[in-house]
Each structure stands twice: as C-alpha cells, then as structure tokens.
A and B are shown apart, each in its own frame.
Chain A
C-alpha cells in the first residue's frame, strides 16, 4: 500500500470553499477591521480607561482611609 501522505495530496486539489455570499461577507467584515482600532479607541484603551480606573481606585482608597481614621481618632 502506498504512503497515506501521498494519497492525502488528492484532497488538496478538491478545492472546497465557502459559498459566494459568505465569502464576501467575511471579506467585508475583515475590511472593516483592517488597520486596527481608531486613534480615539486606541487612546481610550491605552490611557484613558486605565487612568480613570486608577483615579477611581485611588479616590475610593483615600475615602476608606479617611473614614477609618475618623472612627479611630474619634
């Protein structure tokens, strides 16, 4: 019996593909995503959202510390 790897090569020529509608839908969806996110979205993801999170966390921590101190000091 011949090598199954050589025989499998027959399947590479069968050329199965998605139908035309799906093919173009995928292409259009990918085109919309090309080039990565917009500069505004990138700035939001990289700086604004993490910055906002840090600021809110710091404010909550400060508030908690002050509240604890007020109770302890009387």
Chain B
C-alpha cells in the first residue's frame, strides 16, 4: 500500500515536472507545446551520450545537458515559434507537433532504435524502510520537483526578472508599454521550459530507459495532468501530475492492470465534463 503510493508519487512527480514545462510556455505565449515530451527525450539522450560515450562524470554531464538544452530552447522558439507568433493558435500547435516528430526521428537516426540503460546517481541500490523498498532515484525526483516548484514560485513572484516574465505572460501589450522587452522574455520562457525538460530527462532516464519513443506517452500524460490540475495553473500541474501517477498505480493494483492507461484518460474526460476549469483552474481552458 505505502509501496504503491510511493511509486505512484514518483511517477506523478515526473508527470508534474513535464507538465510544468508545458504550463510555463502556455502561460507565457498561449501555446500548447506538444514537443515537451520529446524535449525530455533529447535531454536524456544528451546526458546519456555525454556519460556513456564521452565518459564525462555524471554530474557534469547533467549540467552540460541542461546548458545545451537551454541553447536548444532558444533555437526552438526562434525556429518553431517566433516566425509564427502572429498566426492562429492552432498553427503554432501544429508546428510544435512537427518539431516532436522531427526530434523523434532524428534521435532514432543518431542513437539507433535500441533503448539505452543509463544509470542514475545511485545505481540500482534500494533502501528498505520497514516493509517498503525505496528507490533513491524516486526520492531524488520528488526532492528535485519540490525544490523546483518552490524556486519557481519565488522566482516569478520575488525577483525582478521573474516579475517581468510574469507580466509578459499576463498581458504582452501592457508589458511592452511598461518597457519590458517582450520577445526577450518569451525567449527566456522557452529556455527555462527546455531546461526543465532536460532536468526531467536526466532524472527519469534510469527509470524509463532512454529511447526515441520515451517522450510520446510522457508528453501526453503530462498534458492530461496539466488539464486535470487546471490548465495554466502551476500548482494545478503539480497536483494533477501527482494525482495521475497515484491514480494509475492504484487503478492497476486494485482494479486491473489491463486498463491502466484508460483510468488516466477517463478521469481526464470526467474532469473536462464536470469541472472544465480543472481542480485548480484559473481560467476556462478554451485553448484546447
């Protein structure tokens, strides 16, 4: 029981971390980034490649991967978002779907079709507490997600740069009238979101195995999580992710593992029907 709950929470915080990246961009530029799952995949591959092929120490390849993904985030918004920013919502969404397909196939060409095992900081050890086996990697994921959420809260509400980004997210026109460089803020948001993806990628690599297809279902679940939590809400994305992770594992354990994926999407439909604002919705999700 506790074992299941713990594993559910770990899975859920992975969803939450990816959902966070989606929500940050959605808030800033009103676009759903369907390539977020693939960004995670890319981050994981880069870290795995740095460690396994270039034999760099684990921590430094984590950091390099996050830095490279920050650069990637800038390029991504220059190529896939910026030229289309005046176009309708759906055009940009299709462009992100295009990026996701592109990344998936590029990864397959570069790194091949076989999944790679990339161990984390703790190898394969598990800790036994009472009757519960704890995977330290799961604890790390929980801890990092918590830290990032707290950090993000302070960053967006207390620092000048964060406030400027927040202002851009709320109203681009008003923000630019206040002397904020809107396009720079947007670029920063994409960079931040890609860094989140890289962090998620390196954290979940030991659990997911690194493969070209790892991002697909992940992106979809994270998107579902952000809707369950209330689209556009940061605490909503976190709670939605955790809720989804726990729901899945309990559904699989007590109802049927055959329908594991069904639970997530049934709940998604129920939430959309009965609580269209989601659990923590701030605005009605007309965007999707």
Task: Judge: A and B partners, yes or no.
Answer: no
